[in-house]
Structure 1
Amino acid sequence: MQFTSTDSYVATADLEIAVNAAITLQRPLLVKGEPGTGKTELARQVSASLGLRMIEWHVKSTTRAQQGLYEYDAVSRLRDSQLGDERVHDVRNYIRKGKLWEAFEAEERVVLLIDEIDKADIEFPNDLLQELDRMEFHVYETGETVRARLRPIVIITSNNEKELPDAFLRRCFFHYIRFPDIETLKKIVAVHHPGIKESLLTTALTQFLEIREQPGLKKKPSTSEVIDWLKLLLAEDLTAEDLRQSATNALPKLHGALLKNEQDVHLFERLAFMARRGR
Structure 2
Amino acid sequence: MAFTGTDRYITTPELSLAVNAAVTLQKPLLIKGEPGTGKTLLAEQVAEAFGTRLIQWHIKSTTKAQQGLYEYDAVSRLRDSQLGTERVHDIRNYIKKGKLWEAFEAEERVVLLIDEIDKADIEFPNDLLTELDKMEFFVYETGETIKAKHRPIVIITSNNEKELPDAFLRRCFFHYIQFPDAETMKAIVEVHHQGIKAQLLKDALDIFFDLRKVPGLKKKPTTSELIDWLKLILSDDIPEDVLRNRDTRKAIPPLYGALLKNEADVALLERLAFMNRRESAQ
Sort the TM-score into its range (normalised by shorter chain): over 0.9
Secondary structure class of the residue paired with 1:15: helix
Secondary structure class of the residue paired with 1:212: helix
Please give the residue correspondences for 1:53-72 in structure 2 after superposition, counting only pairs within 5 Å: 53-72=53-72
Matching residue of 2:260: 259
Give the counterpart letter for 1:210 in structure 2.
D
After TM superposition, the structure 1 stretch with the greater mean CA deviation from structure 2, 267-276 or 172-181, is: 267-276
Residue identity (%)? 73
CA–CA distance in 1 between the matches of 2:221 and 2:156?
23
- Does structure 1 retain, via aligned residues, the 8 Å contact 2:76–2:94? yes
Give the counterpart letter for 1:205 in structure 2.
L
Q: Does 1:225 align with 2:225?
A: yes
Q: Does 1:148 align with 2:144?
A: no
Secondary structure class of the residue paired with 2:66: helix
Q: Does 1:28 align with 2:64?
A: no
Matching residue of 1:163: 163
CA–CA distance in 2 between the matches of 1:98 and 1:184?
37
Matching residue of 1:3: 3
CA–CA distance in 1 between the matches of 2:50 and 2:147?
23
- Does structure 1 retain, via aligned residues, the 8 Å contact 2:33–2:158? yes
Secondary structure class of the residue paired with 1:161: coil
CA–CA distance in 1 between the matches of 2:250 and 2:147?
63
CA–CA distance in 2 between the matches of 1:240 and 1:166?
51
Q: Does 1:183 align with 2:167?
A: no
After TM superposition, the structure 1 stretch with the greater mean CA deviation from structure 2, 79-88 or 24-33, is: 79-88
- Does structure 2 retain, via aligned residues, the 8 Å contact 1:251–1:269? yes
Matching residue of 1:95: 95
- Does structure 2 retain, via aligned residues, the 8 Å contact 1:246–1:252? no
> C-alpha root-mean-square deviation of aligned residues, in Å?
1.0
- Give unmatched runs, 5+ long, in structure 1: none
Shift of 1:203: 1.1
Shift of 1:73: 0.6
Give the counterpart letter for 2:270 in structure 1.
E
Matching residue of 1:77: 77
Give the counterpart letter for 1:129 in structure 2.
L
Please give the residue correspondences for 1:226-245 in structure 2 after superposition, counting only pairs within 5 Å: 226-243=226-243, 244-245=245-246
- Residue-pair matches, total: 279
- Give unmatched runs, 5+ long, in structure 2: none
After TM superposition, the structure 1 stretch with the greater mean CA deviation from structure 2, 241-250 or 137-146, is: 241-250
CA–CA distance in 2 between the matches of 1:66 and 1:216?
41
CA–CA distance in 2 between the matches of 1:44 and 1:245?
38
Matching residue of 1:208: 208
Shift of 1:248: 4.8
Shift of 1:239: 3.8
After TM superposition, the structure 1 stretch with the greater mean CA deviation from structure 2, 145-154 or 249-258, is: 249-258
- Does structure 1 retain, via aligned residues, the 8 Å contact 2:69–2:97? yes
